[in-house]
Amino acid sequence: MTKGRSAWTATLLAGAVIGVVITAAVNRQSCSPAEDQAATALPMVLPAATIAPGAAIPLPDFAALVERLSPSIVNISTVSEEEEQGQMPRRRERDPFDFFEHFGPRRSLGSGFVLGTEGFIITNHHVVDQATEIVVRLSDETEYQAEIVGSDAKTDLAVIKIKDAKNLVALPLGNSDDLRVGEWVVAVGSPFGLDHTVTAGIVSAKGRKINRPDQSPYDDFIQTDAAINPGNSGGPLVNLAGQVVGINTAIYSRSGGNIGIGFAIPINLARQIVPQLKDAGYVTRGWLGVLIQPVDEDIAKSLNLEEAQGALVAKVFDESPAAKAGIQVGDVIVTFDGQGIRKSNDLPSIVAATPVGKAVSVAVVRAGKQETVEVTIAKLEEDEVEAKPVKADELGLSVQDITPEIANDLGLERDAKGVVVSGVKRGSAADEAGLRAGDVIESVANQPVADVKEFRRQLADRDPSDSVLVLVRRGDQTLFRVLKPPSPTKE
């Protein structure tokens, strides 16, 4: 046998070893998100350890995996009040970040998966929202009436329950924090009403926030190119070990069909939310009482921070836990209850998951020095907005004092302090920073300004080559902007 033929034969043998199938049975016990599911995980379809260095990596065999998943995936149909009255559902202008809409009575709205043998099923809030009748169809075509146990719009999660179903098979839950970009995943659901449709792809990205009108501060999506379409909502995103790592929720699409950009809720978020939905029907969240924004390189330099990390406090609500603890506008929160805050997006979910009444240590950087304050977390009420990030575009100026007439026109308090931006020169530092007419500048370099005189004095006290950090009020938001002087022109 030639040397080349021996190598070819060895490759075939290696492929036979690598192409293993799943033989373990799915655990039939209750898959409560609070439980550790490590023992119920199915063997990997393609064990990475068996791949020889430099060898070609074959595609995984999904067939055995899908056979195990199918009994746990359900189709969900609903009837809404609008449909009962014979009206067409209200349509909105299509948002490319689409949380799937439904059309017509008893049309399949979405998917779900079995959480436990007691009949609990996880799906999306938007699948069952305002439904007066819910029908769940299992893989064996049997149908059951379902009732909503609990639902949460902020995370788009819902738990429903069916009664008297036999031999329910629960899916084991994985750990979405362990997902790696590039890892294989499988989506199963009922796109366009086509039951038990299977698509495969990879994890395209993690920690995605998508720019949509109803953006939640708790958004932290897994992005995948596994095909997701209307009807997949609420179905599982599964890794090759047979564990649920996400709940399919939305797509990015101009046409309404899949173009390879889908989003799933991380299962670790569901682990926090689902037990509350099962027990109480709603979610109780912790409240700190601040508005925050990201720390970019310019802001970090203006605040003398070593790194561009943390959550910059742009507003502190009166009588909030943050206000009572002494947290100030301009503070940068770097740790919360022992957990590091590298990105501002990290903070809202951590605060929300903190038990109401718990006293936690919060480390902030203030005037270049780190301080620690003790905060007692309160309950987030529905009309409060917890730590929703303030979008930082960039900055810009020409200002005037706030007169009673201007205050009335801008909806400000009659005793409002600061200066109003009356004009922005195109191409100026203010224009580059994103300032616009009608903005109210409340502080310069973390020093409050009451009028144009104080504003000019603050600017006069700085080095002309230094960037200036300003606090801007725009409508009901406050946000920091950095005014950077133009770079010297080279001769």
Catalytic residue among 233, 302, 320, 443: 233
What six digits make up the tokens of 16?
């036979």
Other residues' Cβ atoms within 10 Å of the Cβ of residue 326: 15
Catalytic residue among 102, 126, 302, 344: 126
Dump the DSSP string for 88-142.
Answer: PPP--PPPSEEE----STT-EEEEEEE--TTSEEEE-HHHHTTEEEEEEE-TTS-
Q: Which residues contact 195 (CB under 8 A, 6 or more apart)?
A: 75, 137, 139
Q: Residues of 100-116 as b/e, b for ≥16 C-beta within 10 angstroms?
A: bbbeeeebbbbbbbbbb
- Which of 70, 103, 95, 102 minimizes the C-alpha distance to 235? 70
**401 catalytic per annotation:** no
Residue with tokens 């989506």, as numbered in its chain: 187
Cβ(72)–Cβ(170) under 8 Å?
Answer: yes
Q: How many CA atoms lie within 13 A of 433 on its CB side?
A: 29
**126 catalytic per annotation:** yes
Residues linked to residue 197 through DSSP beta bridges, in sequence order: 189
**DSSP state, residue 389:** B
Residues linked to residue 360 through DSSP beta bridges, in sequence order: 375
**102 catalytic per annotation:** no
Dump the DSSP string for 20-54.
Answer: ----SPPP-S---TTS--GGGPPPPSS-GGGSPTT
Cβ(149)–Cβ(277) under 8 Å?
Answer: yes
Catalytic residue among 98, 152, 156, 298: 156
Q: Which residues are catalytic?
A: 126, 156, 233
